[in-house]
Amino acid sequence: MRLHLLALLAKEPAHGYELKQALELTFGSAYPSPNIGQIYVTLGRLEKDGLIRAVDVEQSNRPNKKVYYLTAAGREALDAWVDEPTEGPRVRDEFFMKLILAPLTGIADRMTLINRQRRHYLGLMRDLTDLTEATDPANRPAMLLIEGAMLHLQADLDWLERCQEDLTP
């Protein structure tokens, strides 16, 4: 969440509730709505790290609010995040470790593991399908986020099929 907040602050200074609303508007229900407390804790850490600074802004009929600004160090951290490729394939996949080691050690059967994982992925796929139906089609970032998750799940399902073909008698 740190870098997501920095990205939003790169556009314009904001206070915590504005940042929460910006995340919700951008990603809709496709991205879990962050807790406002989590946002303020993260903003405090970013400020402590020198990546943002806060300014108290007076309000006429309300308590002062803190407006956060991106610092030069924050901009550098954000630029480094944007320039760095995101992690690719999971070579140290936790499920694959179970799939290989469980039968070798006698703690589980491969087909049981594959079927359990398949049911889990299919349940996640159903949840994403429901989320697609509940999401405004005009919210392209949310729709693309859901579609990407579904494509990853489909690839995982295809890979499970391959594991079943290659590893089970």
With vertex at residue 134, the alpha carbon angle to CA 130 and CA 139, rounded to the nearest 5 degrees, is 120
Distance CA 30, CA 138 (A): 13
pLDDT digits (tens, 9 = 90+) for 13-44: 999 999 999 988 888 878 888 899 999 999 99
User: What's the whole-model pTM score?
Assistant: 0.74
pLDDT digits (tens, 9 = 90+) for 139-166: 999 999 999 999 999 999 999 999 999 9
Cβ atoms 136, 145 nearer than 8 A: no
User: Residue 61 to residues 14, 48, 64, 65: CA-CA distances in angstroms?
Assistant: 19, 29, 9, 12
Distance CA 24, CA 155 (A): 28
Nearest-CA neighbor of 71 among 52, 56, 43, 44? Answer: 52
Distance CA 75, CA 6 (A): 8
